[in-house]
């Protein structure tokens, strides 16, 4: 692949990403987990190519007030909180505490948990090899929250997989995940969307449809 390959869409990125994941015999059952929302279409292709189950790990980024594109942290199930080191300085003049932002996003995390799982059993990661997939890693904070939540839930090993990542994010995650698979690490990464020809927003209903083969979204659910 070219060092500056632009993906047609998330589906193509997932197909190419699956080829880069080592085809080895894992020591434990394998589960592919997409990070919502944009990571789920990528994860769907990875799970299909590897012939393993697909599910979703709920993570929620914490954005800088007034600057939704700037992540200052992330949360995940199990009361996992990741806080960027520069967060306190950035929000100091906004009259809001980081913990307050965490609580706001936890409400959204719980809403998505109810929506996506829709009566399905709680996510069981104990003893499994977990492949965590997102459509791109900018700061790496949401993926870091996912890695920590997976370990806390008893995953045997954690593999981070993404089509594109910043150097800082790849380095950060290499220090916590058991393995990191990234197709491209450009010198400058300003926005994940710049590396896709089509990078449409992913809505909740699309996430639910992608998860349906795994038994999610039973008849009568809101998905």
pLDDT of 223 > 80? The answer is no
| pLDDT, mean over the chain | 88
CATH code, 139: 3.40.50.2020
pLDDT of 180 > 90? The answer is yes
Q: Most distant CA pair in the chain: distance in Å?
A: 52
pLDDT at site 99: 87
Banded pLDDT at 2 (limits 50, 70, 90)? low
**Residue 141 belongs to some domain of the structure:** yes
More confident residue, 163 or 216: 163
pLDDT of 130 > 60? The answer is yes
- Rg value, the chain, Cα: 17
pLDDT at site 178: 96
- Of the candidate ranges 31-40, 80-89, 133-142, 200-209, the one whose mean pLDDT is the lowest: 80-89
pLDDT of 161 > 60? The answer is yes
**Residue 2 belongs to some domain of the structure:** no
Positive or negative torsion for Cα 201, 1, 134, 141 = negative
pLDDT at site 145: 97
Number of domains present in the structure of the chain: 1
**Residue 218 belongs to some domain of the structure:** no
**pLDDT, tens digit, 9 for 90 and up, residues 71-83:** 888 999 999 999 9
Percent of the chain beyond pLDDT 70?
Answer: 91
Separation between Cα atoms, residue 81 and residue 148, nearest integer Å? 9
Domain that holds residue 186: 10-212
Percent of the chain beyond pLDDT 90?
Answer: 67
pLDDT at site 221: 38
pLDDT of 220 > 60? The answer is no
**Residue 19 belongs to some domain of the structure:** yes
| Helix, strand or coil, per DSSP, at residue 192 | helix
**Residue 219 belongs to some domain of the structure:** no
Separation between Cα atoms, residue 188 and residue 166, nearest integer Å? 7
| Contact predicate 132/35, CB 8 Å | yes
More confident residue, 64 or 48: 48
- What length is written for the chain? 223
**pLDDT, tens digit, 9 for 90 and up, residues 5-42:** 899 999 999 999 999 998 777 778 999 999 999 999 99
Banded pLDDT at 3 (limits 50, 70, 90)? low
**Residue 160 belongs to some domain of the structure:** yes
pLDDT at site 64: 82
Separation between Cα atoms, residue 193 and residue 152, nearest integer Å? 31
The residues with which 180 forms a beta bridge, in sequence order, are 160
Separation between Cα atoms, residue 222 and residue 118, nearest integer Å? 8
**Residue 183 belongs to some domain of the structure:** yes
**Residue 21 belongs to some domain of the structure:** yes
């Amino acid at each position: 692949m070219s060092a500056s390959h632009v993906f047609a869409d998330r589906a193509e990125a997932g197909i190419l990403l699956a080829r880069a994941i080592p085809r080895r015999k894992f020591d434990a059952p394998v589960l592919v987990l997409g990070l919502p929302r944009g990571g789920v279409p990528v994860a769907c292709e990875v799970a299909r190519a590897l012939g393993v189950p697909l599910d979703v790990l709920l993570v929620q980024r914490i954005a800088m007030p007034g600057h939704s594109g700037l992540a200052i942290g992330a949360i995940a199930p199990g009361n996992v909180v990741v806080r960027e080191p520069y967060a306190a300085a950035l929000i100091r003049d906004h009259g809001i505490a980081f913990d307050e932002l965490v609580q706001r996003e936890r409400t959204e995390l719980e809403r998505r948990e109810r929506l996506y799982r829709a009566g399905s059993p709680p996510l069981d990661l104990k003893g499994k090899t977990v492949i965590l997939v997102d459509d791109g890693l900018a700061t790496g904070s949401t993926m870091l929250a996912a890695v920590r939540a997976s370990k806390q839930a008893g995953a045997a090993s954690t593999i981070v997989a993404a089509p594109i990542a910043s150097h800082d994010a790849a380095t950060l995650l290499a220090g916590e995940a058991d393995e990191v698979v990234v197709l491209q690490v450009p010198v400058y990464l300003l926005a994940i969307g710049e590396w896709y020809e089509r990078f449409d927003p992913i809505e909740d209903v699309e996430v639910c449809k992608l998860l349906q083969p795994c038994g999610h979204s039973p008849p009568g659910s809101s998905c």
